[in-house]
Structures are given as structure tokens and as C-alpha cells.
Amino acid sequence: MKVLVAGGAGFIGSTYVRLRIDAHPDDSVRVLDKLTYAGRRENLDGLPENRVELVPGDIADPDAVAAAVEGCDAIVNFAAESHVDRSIESPGEFIQTDVFGAFVLLEAARAAGVRHLQVSTDEVYGSIESGSFEEHSPLDPSSPYSASKAGGDLIVGAYHQTYGADALIVRGSNNYGPRQHPEKLIPLCILNALAGDPLPVYGDGMQVRNWVFVEDFCRGIDLVLERGEAGQAYNVGGPDELPNIEVVRTILMLTGRDESLIDYVTDRLGHDRRYSLSSEKVRGLGWEAQVGFEEGLRRTVEWYRDNEWWWAPIRGGEYREYYERQYGRALRG
């Protein structure tokens, strides 16, 4: 089997490519990736060239997509603008990739008659005070990012219902692990802590996120690709629900820093208070999270400590300007 992995040069997509190659020794992967600020060739370093091919291209470009789909037996779509804060600053790119691009890819899958798995997020359900979202819970997105992801999900549902397309959705909770861009809370705080810089906590820091180690999430995606039912959505949520401030404190503990580095800053606009997913349905397929938060975070901190070659160029580039705009101060170190 040859799988087209759109967005396979990003954080989760590249983890999935590694897992797919390991778990299916006879299979190969073609990665279609626009290589935006978040996508990096280095994320695919060390993978066998005869089994993993990288094709630079945009999922919103029908010609690029048609060429990339040629010869593939299934599509997994990770390609997206993925950062909530950037969607607040500049929503248009999110609509273009996460809605229109998702449509272009789905249309190509339908034309080729291949399975299409859309990677989506718990954020499409919006915030929940108590209990957990199930797959039939109504979509109620809050940010331009989550609204555009919800748009992608609705088109997938419509393609199954209208055309009988072999399309399905996996909705994940907050991922963490190696190779996550430092714009996101956990790598941002790890790198700032290692440098002795302040850790910016939005609002009161009591927003709750449901953390899943990236390899666990990718195992869930692969299982649903192999065994999921067309037209269905599957939640894949992590075992740990934690307020942000606890995550930040654990990072300080693991990096040997004290709490004087915590810096409460202006809250994110429209900030969702709590996410929580019920993963009963995917458990029914045989999925279970294997990595708890403390172990996963320890592994993640170690990876960032050991791989300065990976993150130093990011902190030296466009990210510096983004950081200044977002946090109103320069990035040191």
C-alpha cells in the first residue's frame, strides 16, 4: 500500500510517517507538503529514500494534488495551518488551507476512489465545563482555526453522505512530543526554561487541555485508517487533563528552574476554557494510550535538550518576529 500523507513534514505528520513505515514494512509513503514555516524536510531525516518520497506542493492546488494522488491507495490529511494564535492574527490562510485545501484533497480522493482520512481536532466541539465530548456532540468552534477545521470536517461528512465517498475523520486532543514547533505551549516553555527566559501563561493559567503523546495519537490514526468505518468520526484523546499552569510547573521542575520564571500575560481572545474528549469509540477498535503525561513530557524535554540543531534555526528566523508581535517583547537567547 502507498499512502499519501499531506502535511507529512510537520510535527504530527512526520511522526505518523515514521510510525507507518515501521508498522507496515511493505508499504511506502508519499508526503505532499507546502513546507510552510511549520513544515521541515529535516523532520523526515533518516527515513529510507526508497519508501518515503517528499513532494513539495500545496493541497489547495488541484494540479499538484492530482499528480500527488497518482498511484496512492489512501490519503491521510495532516496539512493545515495549525496555530490558534496565528489564526487570530491572520484568519485567511486558515480558510484557504483548512477548508479549501481539505476540499481539494477530498475531491481528488473521490476521483481516484481511495480512502481519505481527515485529521481534525477536539477544538471543533468548542469548550466544555464538565464531562467529555463524544463524536455526535454538536460542532461549536470558537476560533478562526477551529472554525476552519470544522469546515473541513463538514465537507468530509457531506462527501460521504452525498457521494458515498470512503472518507472518515479522527479528532485529536492536544498533542506534544519531539519536533513540535516552539510557537506551541509545551516546546515554547521548554526552550524558554532552558534559556532562563520567562514562560508566558495566558490569563489565569487555569484553562484545561487533554494531553496526548504524539506517538499515541498517530497509532490511533493508523488504526482508524485500517479499521475505521467510512463516514464516521473517531475521537483520540489523551489520558491526562491538566490546567496549563500545572503543565508549566512540571516543565520548570523537569528543567531545574523555579517558579519566578512564570509570567502571566494577556489572555488569548476567545480562549476556550476546557477541552475533553471521550475516546470510547476508538478504544472499541483496540486503541489505548501508552504514554502518561509525566513520562511523555520527560521524553519531550530530553529530546529538546539533545536536539538544539533542530530548534536553533527556528528561534533564529521568522519565529523571532512572530514572538515579538505575539508577546510584545523580543526573544532572548
Residues catalogued as catalytic: 122-123, 145
Query: Alpha-carbon distance 81 to 85, whole Å?
Result: 11
Shortest gap between Cβ of 201 and ligand DAU (angstroms)? Answer: 5
**Which residues contact residue 43 at a Cβ distance below 8 angstroms, ignoring those fewer than 6 apart?**
9, 10, 11, 14, 179
* CA dist 219 → 112, 128, 227 (Å): 26, 26, 12
Please give the DSSP secondary-structure letter assigned to residue 228: P
Q: Which of positions 162-201 make contact with ligand NAD (CB under 6 A)?
A: 172, 174-175, 181
Decide if residue 122 touches ligand DAU (CB under 6 A): yes
Asked if residue 143 binds ligand NAD (CB under 6 A), the reply is: no
Please, which residues have CB within 8 angstroms of residue 294's CB and are 6 or more apart in sequence?
250
275 contacts ligand DAU (rule: CB under 6 A)? yes
Among residues 110 and 219, whose Cβ is nearest to ligand DAU? 219
Please tell me whether residue 171 binds ligand DAU under the rule CB under 6 A.
no
26: how many CB neighbours lie within 10 A of its CB? 6
Nearer to ligand DAU, 245 or 285 (CB): 245
CB nearer to ligand DAU: give 275 or 311. Answer: 275
Q: Which residue, 6 or 114, is less far from ligand NAD as judged by CB?
A: 6
* Options 47, 69, 75, 80; binder of ligand NAD; rule CB under 6 A: 80
Measuring CA to CA, which residue among 216, 213, 278 is closest to residue 19? 216
Least Å distance between CB 27 and ligand DAU?
A: 26
Q: State the greatest distance between any 2 C-alpha atoms of the chain, in Å, as a whole number.
A: 57
Under the binding rule (CB under 6 A), the answer on residue 10 touching ligand NAD is yes
185 binds, among ligand DAU, ligand NAD, none (CB under 5 to 8 A by kind): ligand DAU
Stretch of 116-124, 230-238, 289-297, 300-308 contacting ligand DAU, by CB under 6 A: 116-124
Tell me the residue type at 280.
E
Q: How many residues bind ligand NAD (CB under 6 A)?
A: 30
Cα–Cα distances in angstroms (integers) from residue 163 to residues 110, 127, 291, in the given order: 8, 32, 39
Nine-digit cell string for 3: 499512502
d(CA 106, CA 36): 21
Contact call for residue 179 and ligand DAU (CB under 6 A): no
The C-alpha torsion from 274 through 280 and 282 to 285, rounded to 10°, is 170
The verdict on 107 binding ligand DAU (CB under 6 A) reads no
Q: What does DSSP assign to residue 45? A: T
For ligand DAU, which residue has the nearest CB?
A: 121
Those residues whose C-beta lies under 8 Å from the C-beta of residue 148, and which sit 6 or more positions away, are 81, 87, 91, 94, 95, 97, 98, 99
What span, in angstroms and rounded, lies between the C-alpha atoms of 314 and 333? 12
Shortest Å distance, C-beta 327 to ligand DAU = 7
Q: Is 199 within 8 Å of 327 (Cβ atoms)?
A: no
64 binds ligand DAU (CB under 6 A): no
Q: Rounded to an integer, what distance in angstroms lies between the CA atom of residue 75 and that of residue 234?
A: 17
Q: From the CB of 185, what's the least distance to ligand NAD, in Å?
A: 10
- Site membership for ligand DAU, residue 123 (CB under 6 A): yes
Q: Which of 105, 147, 169, 188 binds ligand DAU (CB under 6 A)?
A: 188
C-beta of 53: minimal distance to ligand DAU in Å?
A: 26
Residue 272 in contact with ligand NAD, rule: CB under 6 A:
no
Which residues contact ligand DAU (rule: CB under 6 A)? 82-84, 121-123, 173-174, 184-185, 188, 200-202, 207, 209, 244, 268, 275
Which residues contact ligand NAD (rule: CB under 6 A)? 6-7, 9-13, 33-36, 38-39, 58-60, 78-82, 97, 101, 119, 121, 149, 172, 174-175, 181
